Structure 1
Amino acid sequence: MSHYLDPTDKQYTRVYKSETPEILKAFNEFNAAVFAPEGPELSLKVRELIAVAVGITTQCVYCIEAHSKNAAAAGATEKELAETAWVAAAIRAGGGFAHGRLAFKFTEGAAAEHTH
């Protein structure tokens, strides 16, 4: 496959529709509320940029594509998209740093145990 998104992937939404229609309906309503043109406080552009950062962080190419396009349509510039990507990169790196400390926590005293 030469691309990550197979246009036929959406056909599998039929499983959600047939097997869990009430959950799909609730999810679609929730998603529509989150990305309503007028939010309670944050502009649609800001909410879409947050979604881009989350998509980058979770490495969901579908989210990155959809929300980058939505952010641009809401007025986001390439510079804002670039800054959004850097925010996501910083958070991912920070997570690695913070969780890396657990290696020390989980092995604290282990070196002393191996010398005896």
Structure 2
Amino acid sequence: MGYTRADWSAHFSEGRDFRQLGDDEKRLIAEHAPPPAGGRALDACCGTGELAAFLATLGYTVDATDFAEGALARARAERSTVEGCAGCVWTSKRTTRRTCTRTATTW
């Protein structure tokens, strides 16, 4: 038995989180994964978008996805003012391995 999509959505809608990125992790990402010109990043299972927002501040164009709409609602609300995040794409659109459509909600 595991968490369902509704369970995860409720988890995030109720304000619960997981461990945040630490300063050492942020430093290591910035040092070892600087964005190339026109660099793009995909944050799969983005939750509330902390990593996606951090990558955007580094200069990446970020697509972030999560199947929990409650997580995405928080990401849109909490990360929209982060510098570089205005162009982040937050989506719960289901895709298959064969068809990766890029229809998404942007904010």
TM surpasses 0.5: no
TM-score bracket, normalised by the shorter chain, equals 0.3 to 0.5
Query: Larger relative contact order (C-alpha < 8 A, sep ≥ 6)?
Result: 2
Q: Give the TM-score normalised by the residue count of structure 2.
A: 0.34
Structure number with greater Rg is 1
Q: Give the TM-score normalised by the residue count of structure 1.
A: 0.32
Task: Looking at secondary structure, tell me which structure has more helix per residue.
Answer: 1
